[in-house]
């Protein structure tokens, strides 16, 4: 199946930021524990966040003390949403990471939440290495739907609706694990970029949605967003109907958060 191009993918998510924010479940508490305990996030930590989307991770970074925080967001609608939501609490760079004008050695922490598959990995990690201060940390994570067990009942019920759609880079390379779970490739890329103390952790957890929430979730997936409006709405309406009629309006899904951390040498 064709794969969605990075340039196209970066522009898909701004159609309805509020619905995106409603559907997406955020990330495991493990992420923020790691950021505080290993990466030193606290009051006065200078942070750069790549691809913040609607700011779900941004909010937690601010709550945990990020100051200043620079967010790099190439999607115009999402950038506007962030500006309206957070105002002068953040510094907004309206560009892709590869093209952003960023000051070298400015940041203590670089973070990317479910976004780095839309960045050229080699170039993106090289940019993060450059903008981090010596001893600064890089934390990249993804939240995935499902785990290593059998498909959950809602996946089984809805997968036929998504058969044949274009794929996201999160699918991974042919014959390899999903991008976020391809530990060998992700850790190797960090080492090649010059990072040390590279580590990987997984956390499994659950989230729940009502019928409209699960509709919003599926409507935030790039293969669905890439469809023409009529087909997209038909699929999302059927997703909501299945949730309402077959799951009593309450869908519980297993989630996996995959976290990679690494340090720039002092």
Q: What is the pLDDT of residue 5?
A: 84
The answer to whether position 168 is within a domain reads no
The answer to whether position 220 is within a domain reads no
Q: What is the pLDDT of residue 112?
A: 98
Q: Whole-angstrom Cα distance, residue 171 to residue 167?
A: 7
**Which of 79, 82, 95 is closest to 127 using CA atoms?**
95
Beta bridge partner(s), residue 206: 254
The answer to whether position 66 is within a domain reads yes
- Where residue 137 sits, what CATH number does that domain have? 3.40.50.150
Q: What is the pLDDT of residue 171?
A: 84
The answer to whether position 211 is within a domain reads no
Q: Whole-angstrom Cα distance, residue 148 to residue 236?
A: 26
Q: Whole-angstrom Cα distance, residue 112 to residue 124?
A: 11
The answer to whether position 135 is within a domain reads yes
The answer to whether position 259 is within a domain reads yes
pLDDT tens for the chain, 266 residues: list them.
678 888 888 888 888 899 999 999 999 999 999 999 999 999 999 999 999 999 999 999 999 999 999 999 999 999 999 999 999 999 999 999 999 999 999 999 999 999 999 999 999 999 999 999 999 999 999 999 877 778 889 999 999 999 999 898 888 788 899 999 999 999 999 999 999 999 999 999 999 999 999 999 999 999 999 999 999 999 999 999 999 999 999 999 999 999 999 999 99
Q: What is the pLDDT of residue 1?
A: 62
**Which of 111, 128, 132, 118 is closest to 55 using CA atoms?**
111
Q: Burial level of 123, CB count in 10 A (0-12/13-18/19+)?
A: middle
Which runs of consecutive H residues, i.e. helices, occur in the chain?
6-12, 17-23, 29-37, 56-63, 76-86, 121-131, 153-162, 183-192, 211-218, 222-225, 229-246
Q: What residues make up the domain containing 100?
A: 6-146+175-206+255-263
Q: Burial level of 24, CB count in 10 A (0-12/13-18/19+)?
A: buried
Q: Whole-angstrom Cα distance, residue 19 to residue 22?
A: 5
Q: Whole-angstrom Cα distance, residue 36 to residue 65?
A: 10
Q: Whole-angstrom Cα distance, residue 137 to residue 195?
A: 9
Q: What is the pLDDT of residue 64?
A: 98
Q: What is the pLDDT of residue 9?
A: 80
Q: What is the pLDDT of residue 173?
A: 81
The answer to whether position 214 is within a domain reads no
Please state whether the predicted TM-score (pTM) of the whole model is above 0.85: yes
The answer to whether position 124 is within a domain reads yes
> How many domains are there within the chain?
1
Reading the block at residue 96, the tokens are 């892709």
Q: Whole-angstrom Cα distance, residue 92 to residue 85?
A: 12
Q: What is the pLDDT of residue 197?
A: 98
């Amino acid at each position: 199946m064709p794969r969605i191009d990075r340039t196209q993918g970066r522009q898909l998510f701004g159609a309805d930021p509020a619905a995106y924010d409603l559907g997406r479940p955020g990330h495991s508490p493990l992420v923020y524990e790691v950021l505080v305990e290993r990466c030193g996030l606290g009051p006065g930590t200078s942070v750069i966040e790549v691809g913040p989307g609607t700011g779900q991770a941004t909010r937690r970074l601010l709550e945990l003390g990020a100051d200043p925080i620079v967010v790099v967001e190439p999607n115009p609608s999402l950038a506007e949403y962030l500006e309206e939501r957070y105002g002068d609490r953040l510094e907004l760079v309206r560009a892709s990471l590869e093209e952003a004008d960023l000051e070298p050695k400015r940041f203590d922490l670089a973070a990317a939440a479910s976004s780095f598959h839309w960045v050229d990995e080699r170039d993106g990690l090289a940019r993060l290495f450059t903008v981090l201060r010596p001893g600064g940390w890089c934390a990249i994570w993804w939240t995935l739907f499902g785990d290593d067990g059998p498909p959950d009942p809602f996946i089984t019920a809805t997968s036929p609706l998504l058969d044949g759609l274009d794929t996201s880079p999160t699918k991974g390379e042919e014959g390899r694990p999903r991008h976020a779970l391809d530990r060998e490739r992700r850790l190797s890329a960090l080492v090649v970029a010059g990072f040390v103390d590279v580590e990987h952790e997984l956390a499994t957890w659950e989230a729940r949605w009502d019928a409209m929430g699960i509709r919003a979730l599926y409507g935030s997936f790039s293969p669905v967003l890439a469809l023409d409006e009529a087909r997209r709405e038909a699929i999302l309406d059927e997703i909501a109907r299945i949730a309402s009629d077959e799951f009593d309006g309450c869908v519980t899904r297993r989630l996996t958060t995959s976290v990679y951390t690494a340090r720039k040498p002092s």
